[in-house]
Structure 1
Amino acid sequence: MVTVNEAKQRIIVNTTTLPPVQMPLAEAVGSFLAEDVIAPIALPPFRQSSMDGYAVVHSDITESGTMLRLAGESKAGQNDLPVVGPGTAVRIFTGAPVPQGATAVVMQENTSVVTGSVQIHEFPVAEGKNVRRAGQQIAQGAVALRAGTLISPGAVGFLKGMNVNEVMVHSKPRVGLLVTGDELLKAGEALVPGKIYESNSEMLKTALVQAGIGEVSISYASDELDTTIVALEALLDHHDVILASGGISVGDYDFVGKALEALGAETIFYKVKQKPGKPLLFAKKGEKLIFALPGNPASSLVCYYEYVLPALRKIMGSKEPFLRSVRLPLRHAYRFEGERDEFLKARVEGGEVVSLDGQESFVIGSFAIANAIIYLPVGQNRVEAGELVEVHLLPL
């Protein structure tokens, strides 16, 4: 049995980042950059107005009420621009290029138009006011996004604005999911005594999709050693990461560990000093990773967020694979006994963190409203209200 920190360290050490591939930007969302992206142009590429108003020479405005002669206009997309000389102004619109000679833009709310002229009611007008400098967002040749950055919708907008249409990203792993348990019913089957509806497969698949993993296959195996071996072998042949749900405890019908041994997989660790999720197994076969997760749904999801997701993120090239961690005051006191660290389903609310009801390993309902996990090591098993605790923020 290993500690929580030992388990995380062993997983990261044994996880290899997949090689890079060039991909159209629109298809790369959810991937991590394999190399820096260098800005091919400046943003903005020319001086832009940030307001609807009038482009002026700021030093012309010597008092409130200064009159300037109108010398044309500049609208978005225009390139045949008038020149702003002393005593003149040009009507300008948001995003339009600032004409040569202009040093500021006065917003239209601070002006009034008289036939052929504009009266400026603002004084003084600072040089550069309401003017976006060329390259103010990023200079040509600068690093736009660094290797390891997640391609998000915001990243797509940023890069497309510089006409970057393809990026080099790390490949995404192919993930296979094995569900075991003779007590499980599939959707639509009639409920009978002794049976429960299987939910872990869709729960984990949804979490994988949220993490940017689009290629997920699901297989099922009965509680028999031979069928478990066959199912795992088939998944190992075609996937980079295998998640097995259930069949990893010490019961007479838990065969996942034995099946992995029969297939020649190397067990890196089995069991973690934590609650829930103690019977977690991590193994490798070649460069392929295998996570055998507990069958109880809350245990399974805790282990996914704390151990599986960081491995997936490292495989995809993330430089910060673990859940973002913050320290927040606990709203209500909490006590626990035993020699295992605890993970608590929680919500962050108003600068505090609240431990939710239903912390048992079989209770998944509290995860439905959770946005965080509290991590309490055994050395912090008596927590008073208002005391700071370590909080792992769940992906949105």
Structure 2
Amino acid sequence: MISVQEAKSHILATIPVLYAEFMPLGEAVGHVLADDLLAPLALPPFRQSSMDGYAVHHADITQANTALPVVAESRAGTEVPLVLERGTAVHILTGAPVPDGATAVVMREKVRRAGDMATIELYPVIENENVRSVGQQIKKGDVALPKGTYLTPGSVGFLAGLNITTVKVYRKPSVGILVTGDELVQPDGASSGGVPSGGEGTLRFGQIYESSSAMLAAVLRAEGITDIMIRYVADDAPATVAALRELAEENDVVLSTGGVSVGDYDYVGTSLEEIGVETVFYKVRQRPGKPLFFGRNDDTFIFALPGNPAATLVCYYQYVLPALRLMSGRKDCFLPKLKLPITHAFSFKGERDEFLKATATTTTVTPLEGQESFVLRSFAMANALIYLPSTQNSVQPGDLVEAHLLPFFC
């Protein structure tokens, strides 16, 4: 059994970045750039007014209330360049080209207009006031966004303004999910093992509805991963081997839920051995989620997650999500951390670190009721996990603890 930090170090040392591919800009949000992107043009590409007003030569304004004739108008989209003669003004709108010869734009609130005359109330007018210079945002040939940039909607808008329509990004992994358990029934009434459940929406004695596959598919899609394959098997060794082999051959990452412990009907561990999976680590000194397995089979990486759904989700956020982000080219792969005062006392015994479902604000973090590994209701309300190492096994209200913020809330 290894520590939480050792497990994370093994993932960092093992997981590679996937190959890059070209993608339309509009589909690239949530991906990571695989190359530097150079600006093919300057932004703005011409001198541009930053507000509505009047373009003037600043030296023509010799005192307050200087009156100048208005000789033209420059609007956004003007295709013919204008030239400002000294001693005149041009009415100009936000985003419009600043005429050659103009050295400043006076906002319209500082100008009185009467017919063709504009009286400039402002004095002095500063050179380049309210004028965006060519390339003020970025110059042609400069690095627009560097390799490794995580593309956001703002990134897409910026690149679209540079007429960049295709980008080279790291591929997101494909993920296979294996769900095991004779007791599991799909919410539509189908049994995981293919045995009729006794009617749609009806559970037989000893059965429960399976939730882990829907939960894992949801968190994967939230991360922008859509290539997802799900297989369900009963507690049967040959079926488990066949399903794991198929998933490992078809996907970059395989996640299994349940069957990884040492019970009489836990076949995942032996099935992984049979298909040749190399163990990186097995069992982590934590609660919940101790029976976590991480291994590799050539270029496929396998996480055998605990069967209890809350333990499954804790292990996903702490280990699987960082691995998926690393494969996708991200550097910020782990959940953001904050040191926050805890609102309630908590203590535990033993040598395993604790992860507590919690709600965090900007000033405090509160552990929720229902910390058992089978309880998902508290996870449904959580926006953070409190991490308590075994060396911090007793905390009082106001003590600082480490809060890991969940992706939907940060």
TM-score clears 0.5:
yes
The amino acid that maps onto 1:203 is M
Identify which range, 327-336 or 143-152, moves more after superposition.
327-336
User: Residue by residue, what CA displacement relative to the aligned partner does 1:86-139 show, whole Å, maximum 9, x if unpaired?
Assistant: 332211111111111222222222322111011223334333332222222222
The 8 Å contact of residues 16 and 287 in structure 1, kept in 2 or not, is answered as no
Cα distance in structure 1, aligned partners of 2:166 and 2:302: 32
SS of corresponding position for 2:126: coil
Cα distance in structure 1, aligned partners of 2:47 and 2:287: 58
Cα distance in structure 2, aligned partners of 1:14 and 1:104: 58
The amino acid that maps onto 1:117 is M
Cα distance in structure 1, aligned partners of 2:177 and 2:323: 15
The amino acid that maps onto 1:318 is R
Question: Aligned-pair distance for 1:323?
Answer: 1.7
Question: Aligned-pair distance for 1:164?
Answer: 1.0
Partner of 2:329: 317
The amino acid that maps onto 1:50 is S
Matched, 1:169 2:169: yes
Question: Aligned-pair distance for 1:228?
Answer: 0.7
Structure 2 vs 1, CA of residues 348 and 48 (structure 1 numbering), >3 Å: closer, same or farther? farther
Partner of 1:274: 286
Partner of 1:108: 108
Partner of 1:249: 261
TM-score normalised to structure 1 length: 0.95
Question: Aligned-pair distance for 1:361?
Answer: 1.2
Cα distance in structure 2, aligned partners of 1:6 and 1:386: 29
Cα distance in structure 2, aligned partners of 1:46 and 1:376: 56
Correspondence list, 1:43-82, <5 A: 43-82=43-82
Question: Aligned-pair distance for 1:339?
Answer: 1.1
TM-score normalised to structure 2 length: 0.92
SS of corresponding position for 1:73: strand
SS of corresponding position for 2:407: coil
Report sequence identity in percent: 55
How many residues in Structure 1 have an aligned counterpart in Structure 2? 396
Correspondence list, 1:331-342, <5 A: 331-342=343-354
Matched, 1:390 2:397: no
SS of corresponding position for 1:26: helix
User: Residue by residue, what CA displacement relative to the aligned partner does 1:288-327 show, whole Å, maximum 9, x if unpaired?
Assistant: 1000111111111111111011111111111222222232
Cα distance in structure 2, aligned partners of 1:136 and 1:298: 51
Partner of 2:178: 178
Question: Aligned-pair distance for 1:376?
Answer: 1.6
Cα distance in structure 2, aligned partners of 1:324 and 1:83: 53
Cα distance in structure 1, aligned partners of 2:169 and 2:275: 32
Structure 2 vs 1, CA of residues 387 and 132 (structure 1 numbering), >3 Å: closer, same or farther? farther
The amino acid that maps onto 2:181 is G
Cα distance in structure 2, aligned partners of 1:58 and 1:353: 56
Matching residue within 320, 342, 346 for 2:358: 346
Structure 2 vs 1, CA of residues 83 and 205 (structure 1 numbering), >3 Å: closer, same or farther? same
Correspondence list, 1:11-50, <5 A: 11-50=11-50
Question: Aligned-pair distance for 1:208?
Answer: 0.8
Correspondence list, 1:254-265, <5 A: 254-265=266-277
Structure 2 vs 1, CA of residues 372 and 135 (structure 1 numbering), >3 Å: closer, same or farther? farther
The amino acid that maps onto 1:356 is L
Matched, 1:118 2:118: yes
Cα distance in structure 1, aligned partners of 2:400 and 2:102: 54
Partner of 1:234: 246
Structure 1's unaligned 5+ residue stretches are none
The amino acid that maps onto 1:33 is L
Identify which range, 331-340 or 313-322, moves more after superposition.
331-340
The amino acid that maps onto 2:139 is A
User: Residue by residue, what CA displacement relative to the aligned partner does 1:204-255 show, whole Å, maximum 9, x if unpaired?
Assistant: 1111111121100110010111111111111111111100011112322211
Correspondence list, 1:155-234, <5 A: 155-189=155-189, 190-234=202-246
Cα distance in structure 1, aligned partners of 2:72 and 2:292: 72
SS of corresponding position for 1:217: strand
The 8 Å contact of residues 71 and 82 in structure 1, kept in 2 or not, is answered as no
SS of corresponding position for 1:188: coil
Matched, 1:297 2:303: no
Cα distance in structure 1, aligned partners of 2:3 and 2:336: 20
User: Residue by residue, what CA displacement relative to the aligned partner does 1:14-36 show, whole Å, maximum 9, x if unpaired?
Assistant: 11111112222223222211111
Cα distance in structure 2, aligned partners of 1:119 and 1:382: 73
Question: Aligned-pair distance for 1:55?
Answer: 1.7
Partner of 2:296: 284
Cα distance in structure 1, aligned partners of 2:310 and 2:69: 72
Matching residue within 336, 341, 345 for 1:329: 341
SS of corresponding position for 1:312: helix
SS of corresponding position for 1:119: strand
